[in-house]
Amino acid sequence: MTMTLYVVPGSHPCAAVERALRVKALPYERVDLLPVAHNFVQRRRFGAGTVPGIVFDSGEKLTGSAAILRRLDELVPEPPLLPGDRLMRAEVVQAARWGEEVLQPVARRLVWAALKRDSGAMMSYTEGARLPVPRRLAALAAGGVAAAEVRIHGASDPDIRADLVNLPHHLARIDAWIDNSVLAGSAVNAADLQIGAGVRLLLTLGDVEPLIAGRPAGALARRHFPEYPGHVPKGTLPASWFREASTSVGARLVPDVTL
Ligand SMILES: N[C@@H](CCC(=O)N[C@@H](CS)C(=O)NCC(=O)O)C(=O)O
């Protein structure tokens, strides 16, 4: 089976799917697209503007990391991305959905907010990618791209400050899932991939990395995504936002991790 995977370099849902293809030892061709421009390309090819998108050798086309992971499991059942045990499977499905619907946008917002402040760091996310335009040109467009992505994804300053207040709760939830073996079990599953990729992207932010580094969530991300492009230096996001988040009412609440 051969397939073509359409990605934006550094995109975490794309990384999740790419890792799934490797877990299943499936050969694929990867096509790197540039952020914002990818929207038009994807819309034309798939009818939906996001990455990842995949074209199977049958001609079948699919976008959306969750849908692609599900389809990969149908087409190539071994090794499975969902556990055989019914109860554990339900937990993994729930965690994977949270990883896509809750954590994924948080990581995306934080990265674009940081890149808007330091657009020079954007090219670090394209390391190892084969860009469709000369790198010099891509670098020139970085500032405009970051500003557009901040608008597209609603990554305004108040959004980011709220994300930073919520982040410890998200990390506590992930650590609890690891504790219950929903994540980081003996076999990699769909939730490891969705959540691991989101945390791994967050680890590329020098300002956020210290909040994650020593935690089980950080180890999970590095285990499944040892290599990940991109780095935004510490000090890019205002330090006052982190102080404010750590002293907020939200930070004093016991994280709700009843799973
Ligand atoms: N939940 C979807 C989201 C896909 C998504 O939004 N991908 C981003 C890149 S990480 C994208 O293409 N955004 C559109 C844009 O940037 O214009 C998935 O997991 O596939």
Ligand 1 atom with minimal separation from the 101 CA: 1
Same domain for 237 and 126?
yes
Q: Which two tokens mark 183?
A: 């994540």
Q: Rounded to whole angstroms, how far apart are CA atoms 70 and 74?
A: 6
Q: CATH number, domain at 34? A: 3.40.30.10
- Domain-located, residue 143: yes
Same domain for 47 and 90?
no
Query: Final residue of a domain: which of 28, 54, 75?
Result: 75
Same domain for 59 and 27?
yes
Ligand 1 atom with minimal separation from the 149 CA: 16
- Domain-located, residue 81: no
Same domain for 123 and 240?
yes
In eight-state DSSP terms, residue 4 is: E
Q: Which two tokens mark 251?
A: 């930070």
Bridge partners, 63 (sequence order): 53
Give me ligand 1 centre to Cα 254, in Å. Answer: 31
Same domain for 192 and 129?
yes
- Domain-located, residue 161: yes
In degrees and rounded to multiples of 5, residue 62 shows phi and psi of -150, 140
Q: What is the mean pLDDT of each run of 10 residues along the chain (259 residues)?
A: 94 98 98 97 97 97 98 98 97 98 98 98 98 97 98 98 96 97 97 98 98 97 98 98 85 61
Q: CATH number, domain at 199? A: 1.20.1050
- Domain-located, residue 258: no
* 233 upstream amide cis, omega within 30 of 0: no
Domain region containing 61: 3-75
Q: Where are the alpha helices (DSSP H) in the chain?
A: 12-23, 37-46, 65-75, 86-98, 104-117, 135-152, 157-179, 190-203, 209-212, 216-224, 239-246, 249-252
Q: Rounded to whole angstroms, how far apart are CA atoms 225 and 201?
A: 10
Q: Of 225, 178, 181, 182, give the one whose Cα is nearest residue 200.
A: 225
How many domains does one find in the chain? 2
Same domain for 40 and 148?
no
Query: Final residue of a domain: which of 27, 49, 75?
Result: 75
Residue 2 burial (10 A CB sphere; 0-12, 13-18, 19+): exposed
Query: Final residue of a domain: which of 75, 98, 129?
Result: 75
Same domain for 99 and 178?
yes
Same domain for 27 and 99?
no
Ligand 1 atom with minimal separation from the 12 CA: 10
Give me ligand 1 centre to Cα 51, in Å. Answer: 5
- Domain-located, residue 80: no
Same domain for 247 and 158?
yes
Same domain for 238 and 185?
yes
- Domain-located, residue 212: yes
pLDDT digits (tens, 9 = 90+) for 216-248: 999 999 999 999 999 999 999 999 999 998 887
Q: Which of 5, 40, 51 to mutate to test the pocket of ligand 1 (most atoms within 8 A of CB)?
A: 51
Contact 233, 130 (CB under 8 A): no
Q: Which residues line ligand 1 (CB under 6 A)?
A: 8, 11, 13, 35-36, 39, 49-52, 64-66, 100, 104, 108, 149, 152
- Sequence-distant (6+) residues with CB within 8 A of 142 are 115, 119, 120, 122, 123
Residue 102: predicted pLDDT: 98
Residue 247: predicted pLDDT: 84
- Domain-located, residue 66: yes
Residue 258: predicted pLDDT: 57
Same domain for 56 and 166?
no
Same domain for 233 and 117?
yes
Ligand 1 atom with minimal separation from the 68 CA: 20
- Domain-located, residue 259: no
Q: Which of 11, 43, 50, 97 to mutate to test the pocket of ligand 1 (most atoms within 8 A of CB)?
A: 50
